[in-house]
Structure 1
C-alpha cells in the first residue's frame, strides 16, 4: 500500500489539497483521517464518512492507454500513485469487487467503505483535459472513501485485507451505474436510498430522483473549471 497526504495550496482559480506526497513512515489514522492531510473544501471532502480516499493502482495503466489512444497532449500530472488525490493506492481491489459497507483491515485500523468518489472539475485542471471528470465518472474508475471504525497506525507497504463483506452486495461500480450510467430505475435507486452504510449524500441523491423523477444536474460539478487546453 502506498500512503499519501497533502496540504491545501493554490490550484486553478481556488485552492485544493489534491497534491499528495508519499509517506515514508507509519502514520496514526484517526476517525478524521491522517495527520497533516488537509481539506480545502469541507463541504465535499473530508469528515468521518470520507476519512480516507482509496484509488486502485490498476487504473493508471488504463488512463495512460486512454491518453495515447486519443492522441492527447501529455498530462502535466503523471499517471501514478497520488494523481487523483488519494490517500491510499494499492492493487487487488476495484470498484467491481468492493461493496458499500465492506470492512477492511489495514495496519492497525479497521475501515468501512462509505461511498464511491464523486469526481469533480478539479480533475480537469489536474490533468489539463476538459472531459477528465466526466470520463472518470462514466468509466466508473472513481475510487472510493473509507470511514474509520477503529483507529490505529498505517504504514507504507501494509496490506488491505477484507474481513467482512456487506450482505447487501452493492458494489461501487453498481452505485455509479445507478446514479450516473442509466435512466431512472426505481428498484435500483431504492437500493441506494435505503442502504444503511451508504453516506447520506449518496442516499439523498437517490431519494431526490425517486421523489421528483428528475436526475441530478452534473454540469456544475463536472465542468465548472478554469479553461483547459484540450
Structure 2
C-alpha cells in the first residue's frame, strides 16, 4: 500500500566560503529552494554539492531529508525564525518523521526512486552555522536528525513533488530506533545485531555497528 507525503521544497547549494562564528568555512550547508525541475543523479541533485566528501555525499548519502515538523521546535529552542533548508537538507518533507521511516523504505520522488539508507549524522558545521557549540549534541539527543536517501533510479524531480512510499524496509528498523541504539543504547548487543540484519543499512553505519558488536563480544 502506497502512502503520499508533501515535499515543501527541494533545496540546492554548491560548496562556498561562508563566515560562521567568525571563521571562514567551506561548506555546502547553505541551500535554497529550487524553482524548476532538477535532475537527481546517483550521488547528488544537479546544482548541489558538498565540500567535505569524506563525511558527506556519496551513493549512500545522495539526498538529505529533514522533517518540516521539527522546525517549530528548533525555532522555539533557538529563539529565531529559521529559513528554508535550515539544516542543510535537500528535501524538506511534511508528515514523515524519524519514527515513521524505516531503513530500507523505498519512495518515488518525481521520476526518481530512492531508498532510506541511514539517519543523518549532524556535523560540526551545523554548530558553526548557528554559533551553538553543542548543536550537534542537541540534534542527537532530540532524535531530530533527519535521514538520507540513496538513489535507486535517477530522474527529474519537480520543486514541490509528492513523495510516495512504495515499500517498507525488511527489518522494520526505524530511523528513530537506529539513532536510539547508536547514541543512547550502544551497549545493547541484540539491538545492534537486529539493525545489522537490515540489508539496506549504509556502509558507514554498518561499519560503525560492526565495530561496536566486536567490542561488546570481546569484552
Using the size of structure 1 for normalisation, the TM-score is 0.85
Root-mean-square deviation (CA, aligned residues, Å) is: 1.5
Q: Which residue of 2 aligns with 1:159?
A: 162
Q: Which residue of 2 aligns with 1:132?
A: 135
Residue 102 (str. 1) matches residue 113 (str. 2): no
Aligned residues: 206
Q: Which has the higher strand share?
A: 2
SS in 2 for 1:96: helix
Residue 15 (str. 1) matches residue 15 (str. 2): no
Equivalent residues of 1:56, 1:93 under 8 A apart: yes
Residue 32 (str. 1) matches residue 43 (str. 2): yes
Equivalent residues of 2:186, 2:212 under 8 A apart: no
Q: Structure 1: 5+ residue runs without aligned partners?
A: 69-73, 215-230
CA displacement 1:53-109 (0-9 Å, x = unmatched): 1111110001112234xxxxx5xxx42321111111020101000000000111111
Q: Which residue of 1 aligns with 2:70?
A: 59
Distance 1:136 1:80 in 2: 18
SS in 2 for 1:49: helix
SS in 2 for 1:191: helix
Residue 193 (str. 1) matches residue 200 (str. 2): no
Distance 1:89 1:45 in 2: 18
The correspondence of residues 135-214 of structure 1 with structure 2, limited to 5 A, is 135-213=138-216
CA displacement 1:92-147 (0-9 Å, x = unmatched): 10100000000011111111001100111111111111111101011110111101
Equivalent residues of 2:12, 2:47 under 8 A apart: yes
Using the size of structure 2 for normalisation, the TM-score is 0.90
Q: Which residue of 2 aligns with 1:46?
A: 57
The correspondence of residues 1-12 of structure 1 with structure 2, limited to 5 A, is 1=7, 2-11=9-18, 12=23
SS in 2 for 1:149: strand
Equivalent residues of 2:105, 2:116 under 8 A apart: yes
Distance 1:163 1:194 in 2: 21
Find runs of 4+ consecutive structure 1 residues off by over 4 angstroms.
Answer: none
